Structure 1
Amino acid sequence: MELLEAKKIMDEKLGDYKIMALASCVDDYPMVRNVSCVFYNDKIYFKTDKNFRKTQQLFKNDRVAMCFNGVQVEGTAKNLGLVIDEPGRIFEKKYKEFLWQSYNAYSHVDTEILIEVTPKFVEIWDEDKDRNAFQLFIDFDKETVEYKPYD
């Protein structure tokens, strides 16, 4: 399987937005919590308050893992600053479109920052049209894909 085909499977499973579990760890203290994500530019974006514990962890260790429905993403998180300072305000527009209730409740807070996650390695559990289970391992740094039937 080629990288573009594997990436298409990942994109179809994630869609435009999802609530994903975000795992981070500092000083051997792991945490996991849900975040509201929007996908564009081949990256994952979410907003958070710069004062939250999860954000403080991300400032100390940018390595994260995220998961939704059989898609596990390992990558690096980057603080892009205030949500309203993103050029073109793409996140804000998409977040408003897909996650209106959260947008309406929290977007006015001036401590909301935008986090960008760059996928490095993705593991996907899925089934083909004949219901045969398989795993996909996508290494974005090496630009490789491993397809492994699961029985």
Structure 2
Amino acid sequence: MGESMELNYIDIKKEFVNCLEKHELIVLSTCLKDKVKSRMMCFVNDELVIYLLTGKRSNKCKQIEGNDNVSLCIDNIQIEGKAKIIGSPMDENNTEISKIFKSRHSAYYKRFAHFKVATFIEIRCEYLKQWKFENGRDYYYCLNVVKEKAEKHT
């Protein structure tokens, strides 16, 4: 281990997006006052922007209001990002997200979206890392969205 090689940013970004689109659940971790909490969440994504549906009085929203840095995990992918609460699924500006969420998580959306406390959380992915194993060797890909840079580390 120890060598890195720059990769095509667009190609690696597509790989990460394809991985996200194959899943319905993701682990969200939030932190406030040195208390970390993790929970499994239904999600949808638009490229590398992830949307979650929750209650605005939840611990996760309280933590995000105090610290917008979040971590996500799905399979062998680690994600760091910035979260913000963007409002009710019934808000006009959330129409497209609601359509996507309803199509992927119909029962969940129908059960919770109409509540007054329902809100979407938007997470903009900033850094993604995925471990891989090939030909008896392990390595990982890193995607730095902020710098638009992709690397392979061996």
What is the TM-score of this pair, normalised by structure 1? 0.89
Distance between the aligned counterparts of 2:150 and 2:82, measured in 1?
A: 20
CA displacement at 1:133 relative to structure 2 = 3.7
Distance between the aligned counterparts of 1:139 and 1:96, measured in 2?
A: 30
Secondary structure in structure 2 of the residue aligned to 1:109 = coil
Secondary structure in structure 1 of the residue aligned to 2:103 = helix
CA displacement at 1:114 relative to structure 2 = 1.1
Q: Does 1:137 align with 2:137?
A: no
Distance between the aligned counterparts of 1:57 and 1:135, measured in 2?
A: 30
- Is the contact between residue 30 and residue 60 of structure 2 (CA under 8 Å) also seen in structure 1? yes
Secondary structure in structure 1 of the residue aligned to 2:52 = strand
- Is the contact between residue 49 and residue 113 of structure 1 (CA under 8 Å) also seen in structure 2? yes
Cα deviation digits, residues 8-33 of structure 1 (max 9, x gap): 11011111652110001101011001
Distance between the aligned counterparts of 2:68 and 2:24, measured in 1?
A: 21
Q: Which residue of 2 aligns with 1:35?
A: 41
- Is the contact between residue 21 and residue 66 of structure 1 (CA under 8 Å) also seen in structure 2? yes
Distance between the aligned counterparts of 1:134 and 1:141, measured in 2?
A: 22
For residue 46 of structure 1, the aligned residue among 47, 52, 56 is 52
Q: Does 1:112 align with 2:147?
A: no
Assess, with a 3 A threshold, how the Cα gap between structure 1 residues 146 and 127 changes in structure 2: closer, same or farther. Answer: same
For residue 20 of structure 1, the aligned residue among 14, 26, 37 is 26
After TM superposition, the runs of 4+ consecutive aligned structure 1 residues lying more than 2 A away are: 130-134
CA displacement at 1:134 relative to structure 2 = 2.7
Cα deviation digits, residues 76-119 of structure 1 (max 9, x gap): 00111112215261111111111112112111111111111011
Identity across matched positions, percent: 24
Listed as ranges, the gaps of 5+ residues in structure 1 are none
> Which sits farther off after the overlay, 16-25 or 94-103?
16-25
Secondary structure in structure 2 of the residue aligned to 1:76 = strand
Cα deviation digits, residues 58-89 of structure 1 (max 9, x gap): 11100000010111110100111112215261
**Higher relative contact order, chain-length normalized (CA < 8 Å, sep 6+):** 2
Secondary structure in structure 2 of the residue aligned to 1:44 = strand
- Is the contact between residue 65 and residue 75 of structure 1 (CA under 8 Å) also seen in structure 2? yes
Assess, with a 3 A threshold, how the Cα gap between structure 1 residues 41 and 84 changes in structure 2: closer, same or farther. Answer: farther
Distance between the aligned counterparts of 1:66 and 1:25, measured in 2?
A: 12
What is the TM-score of this pair, normalised by structure 2? 0.88
- Is the contact between residue 44 and residue 101 of structure 2 (CA under 8 Å) also seen in structure 1? yes
